[in-house]
Amino acid sequence: MVGVPVRLRDDLAALPTYVAGRTVPGAVKLASNEMPLPPLPAVLDAVDRAAQAGNRYPDIAVTTLTARLAEHHGVDPARIAVGCGSVALCGQLVQALCAPGDEVVFAWRSFEAYPIVALAGHARAVRVPLTPGHVHDLDAMADAVTERTRLVFVCNPNNPTGTAVDEDALRTFLARIPDDVLVVLDEAYREFVSDPAVPDGLALAAELDNVCVLRTFSKAHRLAGLRVGYAVAPPELAAALRGVAVPFAVSAVAQAAALAALDHLDELHADCAGAVTEVARMTSELRSLGYEVPPSQSNFVWLPLGERAAEFAEHALENKVVVRAFAGDGVRVSAGTAEEVDLFLAAAGSFPR
Ligand code: PMP
């Protein structure tokens, strides 16, 4: 085809690409922090029933799920905004808060969507390096806040390092952040936290008007494919998040599945404990093999292998395990079943070092 190409934004060239974990036939996937278990049967029944509604749009206001989440967390429904995965809400936060050139501060390395949503939303992405221990450097993050900062993401526990900040550190940090700057506590992995020193962001959000919490149904609730997440935020912000959402972004099937999952939290949480056990086993066995493994409060571990990250992932794949390499930095490995973890540990043990 000949002609003048359509004019894209000049700054899109700087947009990083989100690299999703690969699915390789015949290999175990430990690359996307999903639980190694399918949705619960009761959830699949709810999905079937919702799918029967067929050619009807979903409830645009996500009324029932919003009410259920509000009841579950003991907050006003006006404080809840449900989205098409919490990653969509990350984008909505930038749209709701940032004018062109405003700044979004976050740790690096952290969730790879943060720079994408910041830049796509015409904001500037301000990356603050993790400490040498692979933890958020909250002092440096507070130092990075300027007049132009509208939003700070704190991923707790952090993806991909698994590390978490404790309540004292977080409170000291929050006290340094101006009241008109929003702190987003991204708690996608909250259900895997076992250290009581790691705060529940919802308690902080109940106290402070500039704190918002993101949660997802993609991890503990095993609905990664159905795309549901939510924010608990001050009412004006929750309304703004709903306001900038793509209409009907949360499908009827996703709404029904999330509601059904909320009916079975005990069972889901018991399985999360299984993932936590596997993470502990991976951590201690990898350390005894000589790997550095930061303490994880999530359902994955981080291997800071630097320049050898890609090579390690290739070796794992040759041994039928897909892990997630961040080139030049490290490798993230999600907890699978005990058998899957055995397969991975054997691969880690045979990696030439
Ligand atoms: N936040 C973090 C820290 C994540 O790791 C993820 C998923 N990888 C998300 C948000 C997005 O989750 P979802 O969009 O599936 O709800």
How much is the pLDDT for 1? 63
Q: Taking 90 as the threshold, does the pLDDT of residue 135 lie above it?
A: yes
Ordered alpha helix ranges (H), 218-264: 235-243, 252-262
What are the tokens at 252? 């009827």
CA 213–ligand 1 middle distance (angstroms): 12
CB-based burial, 124-158: b 16+ in 10 Å, e otherwise = bbbbbebeeebbbbbeebbebbeeebbbbbbbbbb
Q: Taking 90 as the threshold, does the pLDDT of residue 83 lie above it?
A: yes
> 177 near 208, Cβ under 8 Å?
no
In single-letter form, the type of residue at position 1 comes to M
Q: Rounded distance, CA 70 to CA 80, Å?
A: 7
> In this structure, what DSSP letter does residue 216 have?
E
Residues 15 and 150 in one domain: no
Distance of CA 195 to the CA centre of its chain: 19
Q: Rounded distance, CA 54 to CA 326, Å?
A: 41
Residues 231 and 305 in one domain: no
How much is the pLDDT for 87? 98
> 315 near 305, Cβ under 8 Å?
no
Q: Which of 46-60, 153-167, 275-289, 314-328 has the least mean pLDDT? A: 46-60
For 17-20, which contacts have Cβ atoms below 8 Å and span 24 or more sequence positions?
18/112, 18/113, 18/116, 19/112, 19/324
Residues 197 and 322 in one domain: no
> 140 near 128, Cβ under 8 Å?
yes
Q: Which of 12-26, 78-92, 185-199, 310-324 has the least mean pLDDT? A: 12-26
Nearest atom in ligand 1 to the alpha carbon of residue 89 is 14
CA 34–ligand 1 middle distance (angstroms): 10
Residues 164 and 144 in one domain: yes
How much is the pLDDT for 152? 98
Q: Which of 48-57, 185-194, 243-252, 326-335 has the least mean pLDDT? A: 48-57
CA 8–ligand 1 middle distance (angstroms): 28
Is residue 35 in some structural domain? no
Arithmetic mean of pLDDT over the chain: 97
Is residue 1 in some structural domain? no
Give yes or no for residue 66 CB within 6 A of ligand 1.
Answer: no
Residues 298 and 182 in one domain: no
Is residue 119 in some structural domain? yes
| CATH number of the domain to which 324 belongs | 3.90.1150.10
Give yes or no for residue 21 CB within 6 A of ligand 1.
Answer: no
Residues 195 and 286 in one domain: no
Is residue 109 in some structural domain? yes
The domain boundary, picked from 234, 262, 290, lies at: 262
Nearest-CA residue for atom 6 of ligand 1: 188
How much is the pLDDT for 86? 98
Give yes or no for residue 216 CB within 6 A of ligand 1.
Answer: yes
Give yes or no for residue 298 CB within 6 A of ligand 1.
Answer: no
Residues 162 and 296 in one domain: no
> 237 near 96, Cβ under 8 Å?
yes
Nearest atom in ligand 1 to the alpha carbon of residue 217 is 16
Element (H, E) at 289: none
Residues 208 and 327 in one domain: no
At 26-75, the pLDDT tens digits run: 999 999 999 999 999 999 999 999 999 878 999 999 999 999 999 999 99
Nearest-CA residue for atom 2 of ligand 1: 188
Residues 25 and 108 in one domain: no
Residues 154 and 72 in one domain: yes
Q: Taking 70 as the threshold, does the pLDDT of residue 124 lie above it?
A: yes
How far is the CA of 149 from the CAs of 97, 104, 210, in angstroms?
A: 10, 6, 13
CA 158–ligand 1 middle distance (angstroms): 11
The domain boundary, picked from 212, 241, 262, lies at: 262
What are the tokens at 85? 């995965």
Q: Which of 14-23, 96-105, 179-188, 227-236 has the least mean pLDDT? A: 14-23
CA distance between the termini of the chain = 51
| Reported confidence tier of residue 14, pLDDT bands at 50, 70, 90 | confident
Q: Which domain holds residue 111?
A: 43-262
Torsion angle of alpha carbons 186, 191, 196, 198, nearest 10°? -10
Residues 208 and 331 in one domain: no
How much is the pLDDT for 4? 87
Q: Rounded distance, CA 261 to CA 246, Å?
A: 24
Q: What is the pTM of this model?
A: 0.97
The domain boundary, picked from 247, 262, 277, lies at: 262
What are the tokens at 135? 């933890």
How much is the pLDDT for 271? 96
Give yes or no for residue 85 CB within 6 A of ligand 1.
Answer: yes
Structure ipTM: 0.99
Residues 167 and 207 in one domain: yes
At 201-218, the pLDDT tens digits run: 999 999 999 999 999 999
| CATH number of the domain to which 177 belongs | 3.40.640.10
- The count of structural domains within the chain is 2
> 133 near 163, Cβ under 8 Å?
yes
Give yes or no for residue 84 CB within 6 A of ligand 1.
Answer: no
Mean pLDDT for the stretch of residues 143-153: 98
